[in-house]
Copies of this chain bind each other. A is one copy, B any other.
């Protein structure tokens, strides 16, 4: 195509312009941003937790197009403070109790810095042996900490991989299960495959099923009940599977959850796995939130039964001090993943892969390119040590229990479902509301009032919680997990809740 650059030719065009990795400039600007972030953490408590901007706020502050000429980092950082920070919902604030918090840490941050600094693209072993090997080692360490059955570890024929999020982990294992099954029963039967979860299972399962081409009419969200604390029971599962088989369908995949998103409910893993085994159903155990806490022996029993599952995942970026994104997935049969996800184009061929001496993680996940994620997990494990990590998690559970205790002392409130970990689902009781509103049904009035109260609290910017609807009941979720949260914040949070409730209850 000729030499289109010629019209712009200068002898050393590059040297004249930018040195994008000049070490001394890197050092100078890097220190500036470290100080910026250290100051951010120092002040984060002062910001409204939930951002208070209106939709479209940023467009009004930004130019229509990218600048033609360079701008200094000092000016950019001023704009970050002025324009970006107000639009941030401060997940790192000690007063953040929404969704599940993302527990950042110094070690996790430093690991991410190193990974970004090396900036390798670790699709296979060859592209950076350390990335693959450290990942395998760290996943083995972590698997042992969680007392996963040896079949999930490399040392027992399985293995662990770091993916971005649980959505990817579920999609990958579902596709592996799908292709394994279709190999047996023929591709024409794709439309017969059925995927199971409960009405409490994360939407990631439904989305994965959609992407993997499972027919939407073959997606089962089995009903849970208050009697079973919103956990999926083996009985309900067996009944649904039986009915599907009668209809000529093929049960494929169950996603069992330990610590659901709405209420941290726990599915009955052991008996569920028994049923699944009977029917040859792949069981994935999603402990996205709660998984971390199973490094504490006193919680580990909730994971019993996992020995009969096929795969297990949790998000280290939720409650394990590792910054987003970092989902830890273990499978018993890596070859199922590899058979469904492997590609081996010529340009990636290399001696190490050819002799089967190495793991090529590209075949364990959706994407080819992959970040050096294990560094951050390795730094978290080494910087804090197993003992302190346990203490850290127990500290959050203790704070949630303290909050629960405070609720118990105020008769206007109730805890709606049992607290399993560090998340409390609570509300103002219908009785309390009905003193105020006597026109609609008690439960409906309670739901409306609690929704209004939550918005009133969040608007204040003092704390941020989110909600769930469990068995028709609207609850406020108080999820302890932000790294900066201490007991004094929990006490303060409770005062904020009480004060806002009083104001609203007294309103005309």
Chain B CB within 8 A of A171 CB:
yes
- For the complex, what is the distance from the CA of A90 to the CA of B122, rounded to whole Å? 11
Q: Are B210 and A190 in contact (CB under 8 A)?
A: no
Chain B CB within 8 A of A13 CB:
yes
Chain B CB within 8 A of A445 CB:
no
- Which residues 20-39 in A have Cβ within 8 Å of B in the complex? 20-27, 29-31, 33-39
Q: Are A167 and B368 in contact (CB under 8 A)?
A: yes
- For the complex, what is the distance from the CA of A203 to the CA of B68, rounded to whole Å? 36
Chain B CB within 8 A of A352 CB:
yes
- For the complex, what is the distance from the CA of A384 to the CA of B12, rounded to whole Å? 17
What's the minimum C-beta distance from A177 to chain B, rounded to whole angstroms?
A: 13
Given contacts A58-B130, A62-B137, contact A117 B40 (CB under 8 A): yes
Closest B-chain residue to A39, C-beta based? Answer: B23
Residues in B with CB closer than 8 Å to A27 are 34-35, 38
Chain B CB within 8 A of A371 CB:
yes
Q: Are A467 and B347 in contact (CB under 8 A)?
A: yes
Please pick, from B22, B39, B210, the residue contacting A175 in the complex, using a CB distance under 8 A: B210
- For the complex, what is the distance from the CA of A42 to the CA of B27, rounded to whole Å? 11
What's the minimum C-beta distance from A363 to chain B, rounded to whole angstroms?
A: 9
Residues in B with CB closer than 8 Å to A106 are 20-22, 25-26, 29-30
Residues in B with CB closer than 8 Å to A12 are 487
Residues in B with CB closer than 8 Å to A366 are 167-168, 171, 207, 211, 366
Contact with B along A327-356 (1 / 0, CB 8 A): 000000000000011011111000010000
Closest B-chain residue to A396, C-beta based? Answer: B14
What's the minimum C-beta distance from A64 to chain B, rounded to whole angstroms?
A: 8
- Which residues 463-502 in A have Cβ within 8 Å of B in the complex? 466-469, 477, 483-484, 486-487
- For the complex, what is the distance from the CA of A106 to the CA of B138, rounded to whole Å? 29
Q: Are A56 and B88 in contact (CB under 8 A)?
A: no
Please pick, from B136, B165, B358, the residue contacting A368 in the complex, using a CB distance under 8 A: B165
Contact with B along A119-137 (1 / 0, CB 8 A): 1110001111111011011
Q: Are B30 and A110 in contact (CB under 8 A)?
A: yes
Chain B CB within 8 A of A357 CB:
yes
- For the complex, what is the distance from the CA of A25 to the CA of B383, rounded to whole Å? 12
Q: Are B68 and A33 in contact (CB under 8 A)?
A: no
Q: Are A29 and B80 in contact (CB under 8 A)?
A: no
What's the minimum C-beta distance from A124 to chain B, rounded to whole angstroms?
A: 10
- For the complex, what is the distance from the CA of A487 to the CA of B12, rounded to whole Å? 8
Chain B CB within 8 A of A84 CB:
yes
What's the minimum C-beta distance from A210 to chain B, rounded to whole angstroms?
A: 7
User: Can you list 13 A-B pairs with a CB-CB distance of less than 8 A?
Assistant: A1-B418, A4-B298, A13-B394, A18-B392, A20-B392, A55-B129, A65-B141, A66-B385, A87-B129, A87-B130, A89-B126, A104-B116, A190-B213
New A-B pairs, 8, CB < 8 Å, besides A70-B382, A347-B468: A14-B398, A21-B92, A23-B39, A26-B37, A40-B118, A53-B129, A84-B375, A346-B469
The 6 closest A-B pairs by CB, nearest first: A213-B213, A87-B130, A14-B395, A30-B34, A20-B105, A4-B298
